[in-house]
A and B are shown apart, each in its own frame.
Chain A
Amino acid sequence: MSVRMNFEHELETLRENMDAMGKGIQQAFADLLSAIALNDLEELDRIQKNDRKINEMERKIEAECLLLLTRQQPVLASDLRIVSSVMKAVGDMERIGDHAADIADMAVRLNGISYKEYAPSMPEMLEETRKILCDGVELFMARDKEQAKEFYKRDDKIDDLFNQVKEELVACLKEGKKDTDACVDLLMVAKYLERIGDHAVNISEWEVFKETGSIKNERIL
């Protein structure tokens, strides 16, 4: 008989709920990309409303974490790291969900214009953000410490793309031939994408912390 079956069971439930939330934001972002491509306004509206579900998932997981710490004392440092990294990572996931909803809101306003015509690098930035977000969530779930340690490098690409898109939009504005509001809205979209990249990197850092107790090579626990 394994000792602390109850505790293990609760950790497993936590893991399952975390997995569901990770899949939730991956799906939300994938849906966002196809809704933008199709200019599906109804779907964009649904994506914004769906953010409430992601927020609820975060609160549920946080509550589970807190109750687990309240009831399952004493916990080992390694268990404490699991629970605290989950609490931190769901916060980043929730922010990603918010940004996906924000982008959906922008996309409704942009109403089907070609992003590429304004900023040629935008399609690549959308795709790269999708990848970094999926991989960030997955390495946390797979407890892939080695990949997590190198993951921050992936964000450089997103940051470069952000600068490129920004320059392209500034050029548009200077040229004065395109819609100014659209330029500003697209700049906001790019900023949200850049922030999603940061949150994905944060998630990878919580993975490293979970396994090693260190954040950015500094020992925390």
Chain B
Amino acid sequence: MENTKISVQDLNLHYGTNHALKHVNMEIRENAITAFIGPSGCGKSTFLKCLNRMNDLVENVKIEGKVLIDGEDIYSPKADTTLLRKKVGMVFQQANPFPMSIYDNIAYGPRIHGIKDKATLDQIVEESLRGAAIFDEVKDRLKKSALGLSGGQQQRLCIARALAVQPDVLLMDEPTSALDPISTLKIEELMVELKKKYTVVVVTHNMQQAARVSDDTAFFLVGEVIEFNHTDDIFARPQDKRTEDYITGRFG
């Protein structure tokens, strides 16, 4: 678990004149859960999106610095963004299943990447749904619309969809903020399960979630990483007063 999967070096991001990320350096460990916490607008989601170049299409954006995944700079002109997004999957705050069957939601990515064989697709669908701990709940209605699932199930379906293209890294942007407490705990348990095979990076507004599930935590404040450390240290012995104030709810 000690290997670095993602190495961020002096990353700066400007939206026009707004310096949204300032000199961010971070080593994200492989097969670990790294959580980003911080108040709204602190840059944590922006930073997450830098890890699979989802900010590229934002108008007036300027990104400097390096993001190395497995030692390769994803911002190098030679980098292939399609392959990057296969390697780095993403799950969003609002579950966003495609308006199609459960099966087709999962098979969508593999089909795009050229897999046509039905037996292979069947296998990928089952493995992905199992990997997201939802197979047993949906195995009898794979051909039914994904939109009929509950919110918590839809979110796990989206995780399964991300797993179907066999990523290395899973980025999760507030994956449970729209879910009830039980569905939230299910996703958290799933995250702990997922880190055995994937590197998980999660943005969360729920500090207790970061404390419960993550191995490392980064605290962001107005575009800066104030503190990045093992989660035990961040929550038990924060080094910076601002981190302590934030996690104890004394902020501002």
Contact = CB atoms under 8 A, between A and B. Distances in A.
- Chains A and B bind each other: yes
Interface of A: 1-7, 66-67, 70-74
B32 to A, nearest CB: 14
**Main SS class of interface, B:** helix
Nearest to B133: A1
Closest 9 CB pairs of A and B: A3-B185, A71-B211, A73-B208, A5-B189, A1-B133, A70-B236, A70-B235, A6-B192, A4-B185
A2 B193 CA distance: 12
Contacts of B236: 66-67, 70
A5 B185 CA distance: 9
A22 to B, nearest CB: 26
B28 interface: no
Contacts, number: 37
Given A6-B212, A74-B208, A67 B232 contact: yes
B231 A71 contact: yes
Contact of B186 (A1, A7, A67, A70): A1
Nearest to A1: B133
B27 interface: no
A1 B208 CA distance: 21
Contacts of A2: 189
Contacts of B213: 6
B119 interface: no
B188 interface: yes
Given A6-B213, A72-B211, 12 more contacts: A1-B189, A1-B190, A3-B186, A3-B189, A5-B189, A6-B188, A6-B212, A67-B236, A70-B232, A71-B211, A71-B232, A73-B208
Size category, B interface: 10 to 19
Contacts of A74: 208
Nearest to A72: B212
Contacts of A1: 133, 186, 189-190
Interface string B46-64: 0000000000000000000
B83 interface: no
A6 B133 CA distance: 16
Nearest to B185: A3
B182 interface: yes
Nearest to B182: A3
Contacts of B185: 3-4
Nearest to B192: A6
Interface in B99-151: 133
A192 B208 CA distance: 44
A75 to B, nearest CB: 10
